[in-house]
Structure 1
Amino acid sequence: MAEKILSARARETVYAGDLAVVEVDHVMIVDSIAQSVIAVLADLHATPRYPERVSFVIDHVAPASTVSVAQAQKEAREYAAAHGCLLFDVGRGICHQVLMEEGIARPGRIVLGSDSHSTTYGAVAAFGTGMGATDIALAAASGRTWLKVPESVKVTLTGDLRPGVTAKDVALEMIRELGADGATYQSVEIHAGDRFTRGERMTLANLCVEAGAKAGLVVPGGEILTHYGYEIPDFVLPDEGATYVRELTLDLGALAPRMSAPSEVDNVHDVADLRGLRVDQVFIGTCTNGRLEDLHAAADVLRGRRVAPHTRLLVIPASSVVMEQAMADGTLLTLLQAGAVLGTPGCGPCMGRHQGVLAPGEVCVSTSNRNFIGRMGAADARVYLASPAVAAATAVTGHIALPEDVRQEVSA
């Protein structure tokens, strides 16, 4: 898939290992790096060549937490307005969720983001990848970028998920199998058939970067085939008999709920093996699991129950659209009645800069994508990664738990 998409945008056939210059369909810039991108453009005496293909998204520290952050965000707003770029301001939501909702990320497109989890766009067969400030500025200025065509790793999903097992569990198991650097500068190509919603595919593609991947591409199937109102172009589909540098098969029916323990994402265990660990904070949200279906999964566990007295539950929808939908169908009320604290749509405490930073020694169960040392606050705080349902069960019991544990406690 990576070779075919990049060939289409390079206007010549390219293969793994080739250097390619490709046309870029969209460049996304987040608030935390916007000043650096603007500075590079100024040094080049350049402006965006196609401003309608450039977006600024204020999501990483939204609303602003300090005067310096507020100044950086002000500069991003002013630059976007002056040059005709798109602006998604505070409260609109997380960049990856927003670009999906706005229809900017589409099958076959190349979308560059100044955020490492831009692999998320591969959920809909867009070649999404993260780049630093200089490369992002050059792509905005020229409408093109250069890169080495990555080798591809094939991940084939077979069987059916058991009740209580989710796409997050599949993604964590995939990372465990590949290893934290097992797909460095490669394209992880996931063959899932017609399984999984668009949101679930976003979870799968999102976590590919945690194996070092340049891109994470999910072969179109299921609702993706009809979502965009046109036939998926052949150039995004892998050829029969395509060769891969590595192949991995996961039997979905053999999976149990999984959890990533500190302090590497590939340190994955069955949740059952970690049961009982006391937890100070639970965070449900992020570009990995902050969508409506994720909030529904949490609400199903929390309905009629209360968060444990010594545990904090933070819930931050991935976008304003998700928040409005969750408000309209009563999901937010269920979460609030259970004792959740609601935050502004955005990244929240995921990167440890505001809205729920962890104190020394605290333990957090999060639906996010990273649990590195110091990721969400103090260097000795510990972060465990899990699905929304497991996170919700943990919030109710005050210790790592499965949803079935909550039901058993109630019946007892």
Structure 2
Amino acid sequence: MSVRAAEGGKHNVLHPGDIVVLPVDLAMAQDSTGPLAIKVIREMGIQKLWDPSRVHLVIDHTYPAADEKVANLHNLIREFVREMGCRLVEGSISHQHLLESHVVPGMILFGADSHTCQGGAVGAFATGVGSSDMAAIWATGKIWARVPESVKVNLTGKLEKGVFARDIVSHFIGRVGEDGGNYRSIEWKGPAVKTLSISSRACISNNSMECGCKLSVFEVDEATRDYFKKVNRKPLMEVHAGPKANYVKEYTIELDELQPQVAEPGHVDQVKTVDEMEGQHVDQAFIGSSTNGRIEDLAISAQILKGHHVKAGTRCIVTPASRLVFEEAITTGLAETFLEAGAVFTNATCGACVGTHLGVLGENEICISSSPRNYVGRMGASSAQIYLASPATAAASAIEGKITDPRKYL
């Protein structure tokens, strides 16, 4: 991949490995990373942000606060926002909120959260940085970056019943390994892309971080343009790979051949088909997270749960990714379906995914989750085990109290 950067009216063609200083259009930190960024910018002696309107602080990981310590961190963020005049969002996961309200094609977005690469779903340059780097962005509006190499993933065919975007990206991670995309730009291409909704693309771009990517990008197409017409936001620019684009690796995924995927505990890249994992007991099913807490995820989960009941002794927790998703789930009757099925329907937040509230796992408990990560201790006790799957697989598993193929309920 080559990147064209404009500085001072001059255009320079950059190539993988080159270093470039980028102007930032939007900078985000959340309630886990924001407090440290605030500490660093205080230590730098910065009294004024470069552009408060472009700085977003999002309270999402543990909202509302689950204990006094977290409440104090939230108040530290609120005080900083009042002082600096920047933007504050509470109760929506940062990546979903930005997709709903701010991100546009061509935008340069940095977030103090690794899953910021979700913005690539709509053709933005979006990636994560640490808290110290975020403080530097707040102060200057710029950051250096190394131009990544590119990987091309060609999607062909069409998804079969019971197979979803999460299964595509899980299959890819299992294929390349948890470091197979390290500091690379993954470009999702091929004739099957047009069959994927914006939410499905967001799922893939978000979860691509789990193989180490720097960027995960879908080029702007008619679906993207239609989406931004609907939400009344204009792209900054469209970026497309030219005929001379170079890729260090190319892959093809035939969607017709995919089955529902399940990642085994401890490693996101130990991926098997659901039929290889069927029958594994689960204590909890979690449907939500920035990867899979959108309305289409909740809709398929409700379709599976409708007319059934969560198995006795099994917990099913459904957590929307944003306030908008939460409200739509209520107005469309999805929330009622969850409650009738015996599930717990929570406010919008990261919730159980980050292991701080609303579904923390106890010792030796087993969970099937639509969240992005399953490393040791991620959702609670270090002895707990986390299997990763699509919301559909999680919902079907909640009904039977064991890992279950969702296709039997569709």
TM-score norm. by structure 1 comes to: 0.94
For residues 25 and 3 of structure 1, what CA distance do their matches in structure 2 show? 20
For residues 62 and 234 of structure 1, what CA distance do their matches in structure 2 show? 35
Tell me the SS of whatever aligns to 1:27.
Answer: strand
Q: CA deviation at 1:7?
A: 2.3
Tell me the equivalent position of 1:202: 202
Q: CA deviation at 1:299?
A: 0.4
Given that 1:197 and 1:222 are in contact with CA atoms closer than 8 Å, whether structure 2 keeps it comes out as: no
Tell me the equivalent position of 1:375: 378
Q: CA deviation at 1:235?
A: 5.0
Tell me the equivalent position of 2:178: 180
Report matched runs for 1:64-103 at 5 Å.
Answer: 64-89=65-90, 91=91, 93-102=92-101
TM-superposition CA deviations, 1:342-374 (whole Å, max 9, x none):
112010011112211111111100001101111
Q: CA deviation at 1:233?
A: 6.9
Q: State the one-letter code of the partner of 2:135.
A: A
Tell me the equivalent position of 2:363: 360
Report matched runs for 1:34-73 at 5 Å.
Answer: 34-46=34-46, 47-73=48-74
Q: Name the CA shift for 1:224/1:77 in 2 (closer, same or farther; >3 Å).
A: same
TM-superposition CA deviations, 1:238-259 (whole Å, max 9, x none):
1123111111111111101111
Q: Name the CA shift for 1:111/1:39 in 2 (closer, same or farther; >3 Å).
A: same
1:298 is matched with which residue: 283, 288, 301? 301
Q: CA deviation at 1:162?
A: 1.1
For residues 181 and 288 of structure 1, what CA distance do their matches in structure 2 show? 19
Tell me the equivalent position of 2:109: 111
1:164 is matched with which residue: 149, 162, 168? 162
Q: State the one-letter code of the partner of 2:44.
A: L
Tell me the SS of whatever aligns to 1:395.
Answer: helix
Q: 5+ residue gaps in structure 1?
A: 408-412
Given that 1:187 and 1:215 are in contact with CA atoms closer than 8 Å, whether structure 2 keeps it comes out as: yes
Tell me the SS of whatever aligns to 1:7.
Answer: strand
TM-superposition CA deviations, 1:200-252 (whole Å, max 9, x none):
00011011111111111112234212222388676511112311111111111
Tell me the equivalent position of 2:143: 145
Tell me the equivalent position of 1:410: none
2:399 is matched with which residue: 396, 400, 403? 396
For residues 163 and 8 of structure 1, what CA distance do their matches in structure 2 show? 46
Given that 2:104 and 2:234 are in contact with CA atoms closer than 8 Å, whether structure 1 keeps it comes out as: no
For residues 135 and 175 of structure 1, what CA distance do their matches in structure 2 show? 27
For residues 121 and 405 of structure 1, what CA distance do their matches in structure 2 show? 34
For residues 363 and 24 of structure 1, what CA distance do their matches in structure 2 show? 41
Runs of 4+ in 1 over 4 A off after TM superposition: 8-11, 230-235
For residues 341 and 285 of structure 2, what CA distance do their matches in structure 1 show? 13
For residues 406 and 235 of structure 1, what CA distance do their matches in structure 2 show? 40
TM-superposition CA deviations, 1:74-107 (whole Å, max 9, x none):
0101111221111002x2x1000001111x2111
Q: How many residue pairs align between the two structures?
A: 402
Q: CA deviation at 1:286?
A: 0.4
For residues 155 and 99 of structure 2, what CA distance do their matches in structure 1 show? 24
Q: State the one-letter code of the partner of 2:176.
A: L
For residues 122 and 30 of structure 1, what CA distance do their matches in structure 2 show? 19
For residues 7 and 174 of structure 2, what CA distance do their matches in structure 1 show? 33
Q: Does 1:27 align with 2:30?
A: no
Q: 5+ residue gaps in structure 2?
A: none
Report matched runs for 1:263-282 at 5 Å.
Answer: 263-282=266-285
Q: Name the CA shift for 1:197/1:8 in 2 (closer, same or farther; >3 Å).
A: farther
For residues 32 and 236 of structure 2, what CA distance do their matches in structure 1 show? 35
Q: Name the CA shift for 1:196/1:66 in 2 (closer, same or farther; >3 Å).
A: same
Tell me the equivalent position of 2:254: 251
Tell me the SS of whatever aligns to 1:81.
Answer: helix
For residues 245 and 235 of structure 1, what CA distance do their matches in structure 2 show? 23
Given that 1:196 and 1:222 are in contact with CA atoms closer than 8 Å, whether structure 2 keeps it comes out as: no
Q: State the one-letter code of the partner of 1:40.
A: V
Tell me the SS of whatever aligns to 1:283.
Answer: strand
Given that 1:281 and 1:364 are in contact with CA atoms closer than 8 Å, whether structure 2 keeps it comes out as: yes
For residues 345 and 367 of structure 1, what CA distance do their matches in structure 2 show? 15
Q: Name the CA shift for 1:234/1:320 in 2 (closer, same or farther; >3 Å).
A: closer
For residues 364 and 43 of structure 2, what CA distance do their matches in structure 1 show? 44
For residues 237 and 304 of structure 2, what CA distance do their matches in structure 1 show? 41
Tell me the SS of whatever aligns to 1:56.
Answer: strand
Tell me the SS of whatever aligns to 2:154.
Answer: strand
For residues 217 and 313 of structure 1, what CA distance do their matches in structure 2 show? 32
Tell me the equivalent position of 1:338: 341
TM-superposition CA deviations, 1:167-210 (whole Å, max 9, x none):
00001011111210011111111114312111000011011111
Equivalent pairs: percent with the same residue?
Answer: 40
2:153 is matched with which residue: 148, 152, 155? 155
In terms of mean alpha carbon deviation, does 307-316 or 352-361 score higher?
A: 352-361
For residues 221 and 175 of structure 2, what CA distance do their matches in structure 1 show? 24
For residues 76 and 3 of structure 1, what CA distance do their matches in structure 2 show? 38
Q: CA deviation at 1:137?
A: 0.6
Q: State the one-letter code of the partner of 1:97.
A: Q
Given that 2:282 and 2:314 are in contact with CA atoms closer than 8 Å, whether structure 1 keeps it comes out as: yes
For residues 50 and 120 of structure 1, what CA distance do their matches in structure 2 show? 23
Given that 2:106 and 2:237 are in contact with CA atoms closer than 8 Å, whether structure 1 keeps it comes out as: no
